[in-house]
Structure 1
């Protein structure tokens, strides 16, 4: 399906184009495709275009909520914008037939904010590609690259967008206490120049964006994956690290505790209280001190992520959640047509039949 729409640069990410994704040609292409349902990612600009197309074509629409924007706003711009942002989110998701969220923590936040009806919010446990992210991709050359040619030193890695909301400055405080360790940041973002300045003179490597086998090698070649972010709706990078067979040490926040629940802490990964240096170090130091412990936790993490296969996730959304969205859409349409049917009822009565 082909179609074009004008775009403009994102104010916070100049290299990321934004588009409403709505034009006569796009509308025509979608109409000719005759979809049974439309699935849009929210919040974002394109979701408005998807919503317009769904309403014009009278097609059910599902919105999956991926980025918890109200939390990010105070870190990037003015706090007074949080309330208008919630209003926009409410407008979008009340217009949707079903809202999918990646964790119960986010579902709870949306319910408390009364974004939409509680029964229209469902959990979508996204999958991880366990073949692309696998311990077999551990690679000596990649470890040399990530450790700045010191492969025998303990290596901590972080993968993800480098944004101020990710609490990456916290890692400087951790690395100050681990003089023998090395850290590698895989990813890019607007906070990268500032983070490079913060880590100036320290054993830190910034690779920029990696993709394909290089990314798989980067995950598998570290000793520990460290995630300080407090705003992850799910934490897909945590799943990818676990699938790669390396221990995860992550902040106990957002959707992460659903990946490493309380009964599995210390077995498939470790959680620490956000911004708590001592708590974080108490989880990192034993791992860095014991290769055997890293291997045991990494193996258990790999086994745990096999539950998050794409096949199971896709089957659930196709067979359960899309059907639920269609049911809600049909119910809403029937409710909207009821007044019209009531008004037309006198004119639509069946003629009486005389059997005499």
Structure 2
């Protein structure tokens, strides 16, 4: 199979979109498929042995945003893919889908960014409706839209997006593992994070407005805790101000074994943002054997079983966030039970199995497009 991936985000930018695209490409390489990547300027020239083609981009909040370019259709025409994979389509992805339709190539769109949620959070009023109309227009062009959560499915169904299916995300079950806690590097990190045996409350992710990390100010004055933050982004100055008085250790952006060690050094994982379409870091925390505290909104609803592998707090209620964290801080056996339950919950979500499901969706749209070609080629009199 030949797959053209058109991605709104790619390396060196680190994001959930980038991670899932990289995992898909690695799987395609392992399983003998061919692929190309079309991404915003600044990307490496290849990944997993596949060529990466860059298009012009502008910078927005430290992210390169790919701009529409006639180069996209030429690349697709020259490569001749069996299917186009549009990762979190916006400007670049919309052009990829439109070009695929002009070339009679089926496409699969991955809904992964809450564009309308951004408009709501910034109180843009009428722009929220405009954002949803844009989302609907983009995704209606695709043969199939894959959504990561029940909340996303409900949102897209509400605005009338058609041809939807669920596709979750995989998690590295080996790299993120409770057994890492016994590693010397993790012990050294815990000594740094918890010099007096404090309970370590961890967060991993981009420091950006939609992540709402500043809500961890609700933990100010809670005894026996230390907060560890992994990541960077434009909201760092705001978070530093809002978390004044909270014992925080800033670990910066981490990846690979260093990121796995960080998860292993945490006792509780907290995610405060209400705009997650999925919540990949929640899965990673569960794989590492951590209980999770997250809002009862968006993707976390499907990932956190309240009272079983973590707690879901009332969205926008920082007092409830504090109550949930306090319960875990004060009850070590509860943390252990919830962490074990979280690990069990993700055991069937390896990237291999998740990517095999995706390839099945590729096959589905390829077969459906082929059937349409056959039907349109058959005279009407013969179809009766």
Fold shared per TM-score above 0.5: yes
Return closer, same or farther for 1:190/1:80 CA change in 2, 3 Å cut-off.
farther
TM-score, normalised on structure 2? 0.78
CA distances 1:92-116 after superposition (whole Å, capped 9, x unpaired): 11111000000111111111111x2
SS of residue matched to 1:17 = strand
SS of residue matched to 1:307 = coil
SS of residue matched to 1:38 = strand
Tell me, which stretches of 5 or more residues in structure 1 are unaligned? Answer: 349-356
SS of residue matched to 2:302 = helix
SS of residue matched to 2:289 = coil
The residue number in structure 1 matching 2:210 is: 165
The yes-or-no answer on 1:153 pairing with 2:195 is: no
The residue number in structure 2 matching 1:3 is: 53
Matches of residues 79-98 of structure 1 in structure 2 within 5 Å? Answer: 79-98=125-144
Return closer, same or farther for 1:8/1:20 CA change in 2, 3 Å cut-off.
same
Q: Which has the larger radius of gyration?
A: 1
Return closer, same or farther for 1:95/1:334 CA change in 2, 3 Å cut-off.
farther
The yes-or-no answer on 1:245 pairing with 2:289 is: yes
Asked if 1 retains the 8 angstrom alpha-carbon contact of 2:227 and 2:246, the reply is no
SS of residue matched to 1:169 = helix
Return closer, same or farther for 1:151/1:39 CA change in 2, 3 Å cut-off.
farther
CA distances 1:153-181 after superposition (whole Å, capped 9, x unpaired): 111011112222223232102x1241331
TM-score, normalised on structure 1? 0.84
Tell me, which stretches of 5 or more residues in structure 2 are unaligned? Answer: 1-50
Distance 1:83 1:274 in 2: 22
The yes-or-no answer on 1:133 pairing with 2:176 is: yes
Asked if 2 retains the 8 angstrom alpha-carbon contact of 1:43 and 1:69, the reply is no
Using the TM superposition, give the Cα deviation of residue 311 of structure 1 relative to its aligned residue in structure 2, in angstroms.
2.1
Flag the structure with higher strand content: 2
The residue number in structure 1 matching 2:303 is: 259
The residue number in structure 2 matching 1:295 is: 336
Distance 2:236 2:323 in 1: 27
Distance 1:276 1:8 in 2: 36
Using the TM superposition, give the Cα deviation of residue 312 of structure 1 relative to its aligned residue in structure 2, in angstroms.
1.9
SS of residue matched to 1:306 = coil
The residue number in structure 1 matching 2:36 is: none
Equivalent residues, number = 328
Using the TM superposition, give the Cα deviation of residue 90 of structure 1 relative to its aligned residue in structure 2, in angstroms.
1.5
What do you get for the CA RMSD once the two structures are aligned?
Answer: 2.4
Return closer, same or farther for 1:156/1:328 CA change in 2, 3 Å cut-off.
same
Using the TM superposition, give the Cα deviation of residue 192 of structure 1 relative to its aligned residue in structure 2, in angstroms.
1.6
The match for 1:72 among 118, 131, 136 is 118
